């Protein structure tokens, strides 16, 4: 299971902002030494997670009503999980969901390449049957590129959402 310790530093209307404490996932079996983009942080080691059911692509700009621990007046808002600003948490992503996301992303890209190549080769064969002189590689490459672009667009924004759990609470399930 990929997991990182973090502290909730802000509650924004569309999500939560965490400050990640560690450079890499604990007990990571992949062995990337923190170079993966599973828990991507900004330069300040801040990780933004969208709230469930909301738009997953949070902007890096803080909203005007977002608060952090140093803001004047304190922060009495509570995140949906019962967390408040300053809470220590574990951000986790189980291996089954990570594997499923990999199969979905890479599998869809491979399928798009194959279908795009077949469509391009088919259009080249159709053009040849109509008496047009077309190099079959050109429509094949165009078909592959178009299908891959469509696949990338469908996969983007569907990254697996990690689970946030307060430190000291047992894992459920």
Residue 166 included in any domain: no
C-alpha torsion angle, residues 60, 61, 67, 69 (rounded to 10): 60
Residue 111 included in any domain: yes
d(CA 144, CA 121): 10
* pLDDT at 69 (0 to 100): 42
Is 0.75 surpassed by the pTM of this model?
no
* pLDDT at 92 (0 to 100): 82
Question: Could you say which of 93, 126, 143 is where a domain stops?
Answer: 93
- The whole-number average pLDDT for the span 13-34 is 69
Q: For residue 71, is pLDDT > 70?
A: no
Question: Could you say which of 93, 126, 146 is where a domain stops?
Answer: 93
62 and 12 share one domain:
yes
* pLDDT at 78 (0 to 100): 57
Q: For residue 146, is pLDDT > 90?
A: yes
- The whole-number average pLDDT for the span 96-121 is 88
Look at 166 and 52; give whichever has higher pLDDT: 166
- The whole-number average pLDDT for the span 47-56 is 64
Residue 173 included in any domain: no
Residue 19 included in any domain: yes
Domain range enclosing 49: 1-93
């Amino acid at each position: 299971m990929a997991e990182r310790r973090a502290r909730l530093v802000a509650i924004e209307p569309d999500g939560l902002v965490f400050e990640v404490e560690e450079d890499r996932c604990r007990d990571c079996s992949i062995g990337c030494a923190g170079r993966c983009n599973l828990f991507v942080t900004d330069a300040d080691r801040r990780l933004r997670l969208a709230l469930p059911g909301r738009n997953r692509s949070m902007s890096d700009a803080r909203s005007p009503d977002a608060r952090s621990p140093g803001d004047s007046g304190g922060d009495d808002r509570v995140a949906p999980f019962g967390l408040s600003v300053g809470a220590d948490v574990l951000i986790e992503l189980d291996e089954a969901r990570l594997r499923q996301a990999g199969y979905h992303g890479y599998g869809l890209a491979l399928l798009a390449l194959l279908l795009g190549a077949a469509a391009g080769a088919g259009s080249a064969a159709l053009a040849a049957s109509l008496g047009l002189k077309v190099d079959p590689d050109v429509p094949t490459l165009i078909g592959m590129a178009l299908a891959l672009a469509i696949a990338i667009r469908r996969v983007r924004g569907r990254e697996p959402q990690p689970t946030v759990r307060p430190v000291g609470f047992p894992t459920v399930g």
